[in-house]
Amino acid sequence: MPKSTFFNLPEEKRQRIINVALDEFGDRKFNEASLTRIVERAGIAKGSMYQYFEDKFDLYLYLMGLGAETKIKRITEALDSLGPEADIFDKLRAAARAGFKMARDHPRLAGLANNLLQERPEFMARVIAHFGPLGDDFYGQWFQQAKELGQVDERINPSTVRSMFESLFQAQASSMVGRLTDESVIALVDEWMWIMEHGVRPQNRKGEKEVEGR
Amino acid sequence: MPKSTFFNLPEEKRQRIINVALDEFGDRKFNEASLTRIVERAGIAKGSMYQYFEDKFDLYLYLMGLGAETKIKRITEALDSLGPEADIFDKLRAAARAGFKMARDHPRLAGLANNLLQERPEFMARVIAHFGPLGDDFYGQWFQQAKELGQVDERINPSTVRSMFESLFQAQASSMVGRLTDESVIALVDEWMWIMEHGVRPQNRKGEKEVEGR
DNA sequence: GAGTCATATGACTACATGGTCACATGACCA
DNA sequence: TGGTCATGTGACCATGTAGTCATATGACTC
């Protein structure tokens, strides 16, 4: 947690520090980001940084908290506006699109989260631990529920399909970092979603093999 | 390219250096791997390393070459043993399984490749450039071909589905690093493949929505 | 034995990092 | 005016890195 000194700072200065730090952590991994560079670019002394934050990791967690807050808000809003008749595919599409828009509007926050996914598992675990049970098994529950509603093939394991979506969302995040504002990304997401929903093999066609007694 | 000195080395010493270097690069990213640590563990002087390789990157590329060689051999073998009636899903399954077995048998080489995928895009590009057109659009061609044979739904864009498989293969690679020798991974891959083939939504069921005039 | 040549060495350089600390500043109050 | 206290400062420390180079070794030849 930042020290109280940080919150006593004049708004302008605080924002400047946050911005510069986001620039740094937004496109470098934790170990490659440099505190020295941050204080130089923010125009403050090295020592001052340590009046505001415990250490580098503390600053990092603070920024990450800002990002998580924004992203959760965006996704929650997107889901709330869906209406009760939405099935799991509508939900996933909405979540993915919200993620995309968030990345478009706050590229550095998105970059921050994206870089976290590239860190070593131990580091990731350490970061996630600081945010408590916030990262619950959201999607796993969705799929479980959807399966009971008959929206998901009964032979599919909810945790398997959840891990697939996680991989895809992660990849989607990576692909966004470069080509933001490009609407082709959202089209790509929709295509991915279509494939996840219907599969690659043509349905009800001659070419189809018989598979495990279906 | 390693200097000729390296290849003049006694077999035992050369292997020792390769092994220690693989240990280092196999579970650390390029910038986090330490040459100092390597020479210490290999029991040679720092200067000697520079008799064998141009620099750190040269050593890295050499190891990466060994990995690529092995992996390509494994996958090629797996595909050759398939028989001509195999469709694209058989091919993908075979490639994924070959990748898994390769990771099981050479965990450090697999880790090396996996770490490359975690590097920054510019770095990746630089590495790939050194291997020439070796990383051709393999899968993209498969899907194009499969589409012409009616094995892939006609509305699907080959490059889209290719990028999905790439993401999944990448995720599969990450998940393997920890839990090797665990046969559950291969089962997971098969499940993923099934979902890609048939989709998550139940086919021919009441619950199904009508989608774009199918 | 002298000379040559590939190879081996590790102290060294130059640089970067995160973090510290003795001290300076300046606003506020008695 | 003198004292107190939050805040600001940057030289400095310990540690790490990749890479260099003058020197040493030891096998081989003449």
B31 touches strand C (CB under 7 A): no
Give the confidence band of B84 by pLDDT, cuts at 50, 70, 90.
Answer: confident
Tell me the average pLDDT across A128-139.
Answer: 76
Q: Which two tokens stand for residue A65?
A: 């908290």
Lowest mean pLDDT among A19-33, A71-85, A198-212: A198-212
Tell me the average pLDDT across A111-117.
Answer: 89
pLDDT of residue A104: 84
Q: Name which of B117, B155, B168, B200 to mutate to probe chain A: the one with the most chain A Cβ atoms within 10 A of its Cβ.
A: B200
Give the confidence band of B207 by pLDDT, cuts at 50, 70, 90.
Answer: very low
pLDDT of residue A99: 87
Give the chain B residue nearest A165 (alpha carbons): B168
Would you put residue B53 in left (φ > 0), alpha (ψ -120 to 50) or beta? beta
Contact B153 A178 (CB under 8 A): no
Residue B205 has pLDDT above 50, yes or no: no
Question: How far, in Å, CA of B115 to CA of B106, rounded?
Answer: 14
Question: How far, in Å, CA of A103 to CA of A71, rounded?
Answer: 9
| CA dihedral for B190, B193, B197, B201, sign (positive or negative) | positive
Cβ within 8 Å of residue B106, ≥6 positions away: B67, B70
Residue B88 has pLDDT above 60, yes or no: yes
Lowest mean pLDDT among A22-26, A47-51, A125-129, B101-105: B101-105
Q: What backbone phi and psi angles, to 5 degrees, belong to A75? A: -70, -40
Residue A103 has pLDDT above 90, yes or no: no
pLDDT of residue B136: 63
Nearest residue (Cα to C1') for D21?
B47
Residue A212 has pLDDT above 50, yes or no: no
Residue from the list B166, B168, B207 with its beta carbon closest to the beta carbon of A164: B168
Give the chain A residue nearest B31 (alpha carbons): A32
Print the SS3 string covering chain B.
CCCHHHHHCCHHHHHHHHHHHHHHHHCCCCCCCCHHHHHHHHCCCHHHHHHHCCCHHHHHHHHHHHHHHHHHHHHHHHHHCCCCCCCHHHHHHHHHHHHHHHHHHCHHHHHHHHHHHCCCHHHHHHHHHCCHHHHCCHHHHHHHHHHHCCCCCCCCCHHHHHHHHHHHHHHHHHHHHHCCCCCHHHHHHHHHHHHHHHCCCCCCCCCCCCCCCC
Which range has highest mean pLDDT (A171-185, B66-80, B132-146)? B66-80
Measured CA angle at B208 (ends B204, B209), to 5 deg: 135
pLDDT of residue B17: 97
Query: Percentage of residues in chain A with pLDDT exceeding 90?
Result: 52
Residue B133 has pLDDT above 80, yes or no: no
pLDDT of residue B175: 72
Cβ within 8 Å of residue A200, ≥6 positions away: B89, B152, B153, B156, B161, B196, B197, B199
Residue among B2, B87, B116 nearest A207 (CA) = B87
Tell me the average pLDDT across A147-158.
Answer: 91
Amino acid at A113: A
Per-residue pLDDT tens for B100-109?
888 888 989 9
Question: How far, in Å, CA of B98 to CA of B92, rounded?
Answer: 10
Question: How far, in Å, CA of A30 to CA of A161, rounded?
Answer: 30
Cβ within 8 Å of residue A172, ≥6 positions away: A96, A99, A100, A185, A188, A189, A192
Give distance CA B194 / C1' D11 (Å): 63
Question: How far, in Å, CA of B112 to CA of B189, rounded?
Answer: 21
Query: Percentage of residues in chain B with pLDDT exceeding 70?
Result: 91
3-class DSSP state of A118? coil
Residue A213 has pLDDT above 70, yes or no: no
* pTM for the whole structure: 0.87
Residue with tokens 């005039």: B213
Q: Residue A89: count other Cβ atoms within 10 Å of its Cβ.
A: 20
Per-residue pLDDT tens for B143-184?
988 999 999 999 999 888 998 988 888 887 777 766 655 677
pLDDT of residue B123: 92
Which range has highest mean pLDDT (A61-65, A135-139, A210-214)? A61-65
Tell me the average pLDDT across A163-178.
Answer: 79
Residue with tokens 């993923």: B192
pLDDT of residue A35: 97
| CA dihedral for B198, B199, B202, B204, sign (positive or negative) | negative
pLDDT of residue B174: 75
Average pLDDT, chain B: 87
B165 vs A63: which has the higher pLDDT: A63
The answer to whether A62 contacts chain B (CB < 8 Å) is: no
Q: Which two tokens stand for residue A139?
A: 């999607």
